[in-house]
Amino acid sequence: MATVFEQILDYANRADPYPLYRQLRTTPVVREADGSYVVSRYRDIVALLHDPRTSSRDVVTLGGFISTDPPEHDQLRRVMNRHYGPPDTPGRIDRMAPDLLDIVSGLIDRWSGRTEVDLVDDFAYPLPVTAICRLLGVPVEDEPRFHAWADAIVEGIGPQASPEAHLHAGDASAEMGRYFAALLDAHQQMPGGDLLSAIVTDDRTRNAMSRAELLTTASLLLVAGHETTVNLITNGMLTLLRYPELLDRIRREPDFVIPIVEELLRYEPPVHMLVRKALDDIDIADTTIAAGATIRLVLASGSRDPDHVRDPDRFEPDRHNLQSMGFSPEESQHLGFGGGVHHCFGAPLARLETQIALTELARRLENPRLLADPPPYRLNPVLRGPRHLPIQFDRVRA
What pLDDT score was predicted for residue 223?
A: 86
- pLDDT tens-digit profile of 218-258? 888 888 888 899 999 999 999 999 999 999 999 999 999 99
**Residue 283 or residue 155, greater confidence:** 283
List, in order of start, the domains of the chain with CATH numbers: 4-396 (1.10.630.10)
Strand partners, 244: none
CA 370 to chain centre: 23
CB 276 within 8 A of CB 54: yes
CA-based radius of gyration for the chain: 21
Judged on CB neighbours under 10 Å (0-12, 13-18, 19+), 21 is buried
- CB count within 10 Å of CB 234 equals 26
Q: What is the pLDDT of residue 38?
A: 98
pLDDT band at 48 (very low <50, low <70, confident <90, very high): very high
pLDDT band at 87 (very low <50, low <70, confident <90, very high): confident
The pLDDT of residue 313 = 97
- Model pLDDT, residue 322: 53
**pLDDT of 325 strictly over 80:** no
* Per-residue pLDDT, 173: 87
Position 323 confidence tier, pLDDT thresholds 50, 70, 90: low
Contact 319, 332 (CB under 8 A): yes
pLDDT in tens, 356-392: 999 999 999 999 999 999 999 999 999 999 999 999 9
